[in-house]
Amino acid sequence: MVAPAYEATGGAVPDWLNKGDNAWQMISATLVGLQSVPGLVILYGSIVKKKWAVNSAFMALYAFAAVVLCWVSWAYKMSFGDELLPFWGKAGPALGQKFLLKHAALPESTQHHPDGSIETPMAMPLYPMATMVWFQCVFAAITLILLAGSVLGRMNFKAWMMFVPLWLTSSYTVGAFSLWGGGFLFHWGVMDYSGGYVIHLSSGIAGFTTAYWVGPRVKKDRERFPPNNVLLTLAGAGLLWMGWAGFNGGDPYAANTDSSMAVLNTNICAATSLLVWTWLDVIFFNKPSVIGAVQGMITGLVCITPAAGLVQGWAAVVMGVLSGSVPWFTMMIVDKRWRLLTVVDDTLGVVHTHAVAGYLGGILTGIFAEPQLCALFLPVTNSRGVVYGGMQVFKQIVGGLFIIGWNIVVTSIICVAIRFVIPLRMPEEQLLIGDDAVHGEEAYALWGDGELYDETKHDKHYSDDASQGKFESSGATQVV
């Protein structure tokens, strides 16, 4: 007798389940999760000044955990459930067995012709809702973590704890429903294959807006902010790059030919962008920068995201050239000359690497989107880029402007509201000292990067022999 879990159909294997699609979707979700934990946790903890290593890594880790709980409690259905408004779904939990084990479906995704006839049927991937909920959850989580890159080194952690659920609820869910869940931009035909707008443009604009309201780092941190570990930065960046196979490869909701095209295009664009950014650093500054190469890699990954399965390989190369040069220009040249960019302290330049690169990618999608590839993925069947005789780029520009406007307004409201309850910025003492003051923990057992000198902790002659002096630990981690 075959156990119910292994029957060909029925039991744990209903007739609508495709084991290959389900396996790929869960692997893709895991790859995207690894981009955040440990990918961005490692990258953030190592790309910042030593005194902010713990705080930066912990902001990413906390956001990931907080999003998971909020997502299954109410935010998933606001993003992919039944329509409340043309840009927002109805809130509700995604926790019950009855909901999670049924056939996955996006209820508002049926596309109709103007005469009312069906153009594209409702999206119903061949796996359970539990897989869909988790896959979309890791996308929501990484968006908050990317946003955090703009405010590292000074945002009050308690304010961050409030910010995460508020922004997820009032901003992310709007973009996700509007562009992916069956909202007005979805049905109008705006293209966002895997989150160039929903994730990157929104996190870049919201991060920059939050940085404005939080205020800048202390002067000495802003003037000199060297990475505390370049090699670990590369390790985090590598996890981010390889994890993008799940990021873009999982968005057809199936292990199909379009998924393969998306993964290949992702790597082509990222590699091209990294090389172009490095060449520009060598040409204009005479030094190839490792951190610059990481930035170029990220802008390439971001730029191809809205187009990954919609463009041909040659277009991915062109997009890589532009993603390695346009954000380089805005970060290295415009950022130092435009007063708004010099006043607002965007710690990791997220407005350049994600907002500029994401919007650029969305616009280029409207230029290079190939009709046959569009038909494999999009609900609007006659979609095509400008190169193929379409006018898609107009829709792309308008869709991006909606995401920009919504995030500026809503993020500002959230920051002002939080400010009435708790300061957005850390107290001055914490800003000067860093991790030790904020968390009672330090990334490395070294002294001299902003911490107040304490001979019981920093004396180079201390001994772990209690008879030769007292050494008291602070925070949750005890010194052994």
pLDDT of the chain along its 480 residues, tens only? 556 666 777 778 899 999 999 999 999 999 999 999 999 999 999 999 999 999 999 999 999 999 999 999 999 999 999 999 999 999 999 999 999 999 999 999 999 998 889 999 999 999 999 999 999 999 999 999 999 999 999 999 999 999 999 999 999 999 999 999 999 999 999 999 999 999 999 999 999 999 999 999 999 999 899 999 999 999 999 999 999 999 999 999 999 999 999 999 999 999 999 999 999 999 999 999 999 999 999 999 999 999 999 999 999 999 999 999 999 999 999 988 888 888 999 999 999 999 999 999 999 999 999 999 999 999 998 999 999 998 999 999 999 999 999 999 999 999 999 999 999 999 999 999 999 999 988 888 665 555 555 555 544 443 333 343 333 333 333 333
Q: What are phi and psi of 177, to 5 degrees?
A: -70, -40
- Alpha helices by DSSP H, listed for 370-478, are 371-377, 392-421, 428-433, 435-439, 455-458
Partnered with residue 85 across adjacent β-strands are 88
Tokens 């609007």 found at: 380
Can you tell me the distance from the alpha carbon of 362 to that of 192, in angstroms, rounded to the nearest whole number? 7
Task: Please check whether residue 389 lies inside any domain of the structure.
Answer: yes
| pTM across the whole model | 0.91
Task: Please check whether residue 426 lies inside any domain of the structure.
Answer: no
Task: Please check whether residue 349 lies inside any domain of the structure.
Answer: yes
Q: What's the pLDDT at 23?
A: 97
CATH of the domain at 342: 1.10.3430.10
Task: Please check whether residue 109 lies inside any domain of the structure.
Answer: yes
Looking only at the bridges linking them, the beta strands covering 83-85 and 88-89 are antiparallel
CA distance readout (Å), 90 to 77, 98, 99, 163, 354:
6, 18, 15, 21, 29
Buried b (16+ CB within 10 A) or exposed e, 69-97: ebbbebbbbbbbbebeeebbbebeebeee
Task: Please check whether residue 180 lies inside any domain of the structure.
Answer: yes
Can you tell me the distance from the alpha carbon of 180 to that of 244, in angstroms, rounded to the nearest whole number? 19
For 340: left if phi > 0, alpha if psi spans -120 to 50, otherwise beta; the answer is alpha
Write down the number of H helices and E strands in the chain.
23, 4
Domain total in the chain: 1
Task: Please check whether residue 475 lies inside any domain of the structure.
Answer: no
Q: What separation, in Å, do the N-terminal and C-terminal C-alpha atoms of the chain show?
A: 55
Task: Please check whether residue 476 lies inside any domain of the structure.
Answer: no
Residue 38 tokens read as 């440990």
Residue 449 corresponds to which amino acid? Answer: D
Task: Please check whether residue 189 lies inside any domain of the structure.
Answer: yes
Residue 193 corresponds to which amino acid? Answer: Y
- Residue 292's domain comprises 19-421
